[in-house]
Amino acid sequence: MAKRDEHQALRQQIKEFIQNKIESNSFIDSAHSVVKELSVDHNICVDVRLVREVMTSDMQMSFRKVVDISPFENSVKNLVLRKLAAMKIIDMAVTKTRVINIDETWLGMEDFRAMKWQAPRSKNSCVRKLWSPRISLLLAMDNFGESYVALS
């Protein structure tokens, strides 16, 4: 009985620690990092399997791919502008107007973590800091099948 109570108390400590990290918007990139922080900061020795079990079973967290966004990508203004642009492109497609879609990508990000643990119904995006200078690759394709490439 005492061993069961001790195990439940340990699970509760893990849960409280993770809940504090969630509330402070800390990045939980692995169960190993939680084990390490519990060990170093709180002198709590736990197994990685127990941490994963607490996060998945007790807290309904999931380990999902991180979505990279710019700091202003999902602002209300940008959401409205994207919707208006989509409606305009549909109108232009009906009139057979040439529409060129340009996409830019670059190499120069500071953080390449691809997945993180998160609470249910929470956003899985994080702001990325960029290095300068960077290599930019511009690709364009129009609605008639032509493609264009530029490297800078």
Q: What is the pLDDT of residues 109-144, one digit of tens each?
A: 666 666 777 778 777 777 666 667 777 778 888 888
Q: Which residues of the chain have pLDDT under 50?
A: none
pLDDT score, position 151: 78
Q: Which two tokens stand for residue 65?
A: 């791919």
Pairwise CA distance, residues 23 & 54, whole Å: 17
pLDDT score, position 121: 79
pLDDT score, position 48: 92
Pairing of strands 67-69, 125-127: parallel
pLDDT score, position 54: 92
Pairwise CA distance, residues 47 & 50, whole Å: 5
pTM of the predicted structure, to 2 decimals: 0.51
pLDDT score, position 109: 65
> Tokens 């084990």 sit at which residue?
35
Phi, psi of 74 (to 5 degrees): -105, 30
How many contiguous H segments (helices) and E segments (strands) does the chain have? Answer: 4, 7
Contact 60/17 with Cβ under 8 angstroms?
A: no
The amino acid at 152: S
Q: Which two tokens stand for residue 58?
A: 């007790």
